Amino acid sequence: MKKFNSIFFFIISFLIIPSIYAQKFEGLAKTPPLGWNSWNKFGCNVSEKLIMETADAMVVSGMKDAGYQYVVIDDCWQIARDSLGFIVADPQRFPSGIKALADYIHSKGLKLGIYSCAGDKTCAGRPGSRGHEYQDALMYAKWGVDYLKYDWCSTENLNALGAYTTMSRAIREAGRPIVLSICECGSNQPWLWGKEVGHLWRTTGDIYNCFDCIQDYGSWKSWGAMQILDMQEGLRQYAGPDHWNDPDMLEVGNGMSNNEERAHFSMWAMLAAPLMAGNDLRNMNSQTLSVLTNKEVIAINQDSLGIQGFRYAVNDSVETWIKPLVNNEWAIFYLNRSKSPKNILVDWKKFSVKDDLSGKTLDTTDKNLFVIRDLWQKKEIGDTKKNLSITIPPHDVLCLRIKQKQTKPSI
C-alpha cells in the first residue's frame, strides 16, 4: 500500500505541480517591447476614440514599420465591477467595449495593452485586481488583450512576489499569452524575482518630463531622465531576453528640447529598456517623429543578444556607454550631460574594453580596423585608423556603431 501511495503521489505531482507553479508565458518579449502608453500625456483622460486614433497614427506615422506594436491603455478605463465581480469598462468613454477596441487594434496589425493594479484600488482610485485576479485575467483573455501593466497602489499587507505571482498564474490559467509588465517601482527589488513572473519590471519611481531634474511632491518624488538613468547602476546583470529592466516610459515629444529627446531615447536604447512612447502620436512634430522612428537606434535596443549597456567612463560631464551587439559589433554612445558643448577625442589605438558580464572584449588597439557609423547622421564617418575628434552639443548624444572592417583577400 505504501508503494502504491508513493507511485500515486508521484503521478499526481507530475501532473499537477507543473500547472500549480506555471507562471508567465515564455518567449513573448525576446527583445524589449516597443509601443505607446496613454499615461504620460493623457493621464485619466482616455477613451476608445483616443486609442483608435493613436493606433491609426502609429501606422500612418511609420512607427509600426519601425517596430512599435503595443497600444496600452493606462489607468481610468475601468469604472466598476458587475454583480459577479467582473471588471467593467467605463461605458461613456468606451461605449463599444474593450473587445471591440482590441479587434480594431488587431486589424491594424498592432496589439492591445491594458492596465490594472495589485491592490484594492488603482493609483487613480479605480477598482484594482486584489481578490479578482483570476476573473480579470479571464476577462482580458476574452477581450483579446496582449499586454498588462500591473501597478502597485493600495497594496497594504500584500507581498509583492506573491501578488505578482498570483496574477502571472491567473494569466496562464486564462490561456491567452499576455506580456506582464510588473510596475511596483522597484520598491521590492523585482529584478531579483521578476524573471520567472513577468517580462519586464519597473526599476524606479515615475519618470518626470524633464531631462535632468527632480519633481518633489513632499511624500514622494518623480524623476528626470538623467536621474532615472543613474538609478540603473548595478542592474544590468538581471536583464536579458524575455526579462527586462524597465526605467519607465518615454517622455519624448512632451516638451524636452530636440537634443534632450535624442539623448533620452538613445540612452533607453542603450539600456535595452522597453521603448514605450508617452506622447500624443496624433500631433507630433517632425523632430519628435524622427527620434521615435530612428531604426538604427532602435536596432541597438532590439539587438538579439539582449545585453544591457553599461557606463564605461566619465570625463568632463561626458559619459561613455558601451553595449555588445551581435556579430561582434558594438554600440558606443557619448552622452553630454553638461549645459555646454563638449569636445571629445577618441584615440582608438588606446581603446580596449572588457565586458565581464558578457565575456566579450572590444579591442581597437590591434591591427583590425573597425568601421564607425554615426546613428543619428545615418552614415559612416570613418574607421578606427584615425582618432575621432568631435563636439557634442549640450544635453545631446553621439551614437556610434562599430564593426570590424572586412579586408579583401589577397590573390
Catalytic residue ranges: 151, 206
Answer for the pair 247, 272: CB distance below 8 angstroms, yes or no: no
Strands (E), 103-212: 111-117, 147-151, 179-182, 200-202
Q: Which residue has the cell 558578457?
A: 358
Contacts 24+ apart (CB under 8 A), 280-287: 280/41, 280/42, 280/253, 281/36, 281/54, 281/57, 281/58, 281/61, 281/63, 282/53, 282/54, 282/56, 282/57, 284/57, 284/61, 284/253, 285/253, 287/258, 287/261
> How many CB atoms within 10 Å of residue 216?
9
Q: Which residue has the cell 583577400?
A: 409
Contacts of 107 (CB under 8 A, 6+ apart): none
Answer for the pair 211, 229: CB distance below 8 angstroms, yes or no: no
Residues 272, 209, 128: CA angle, nearest 5 degrees: 75
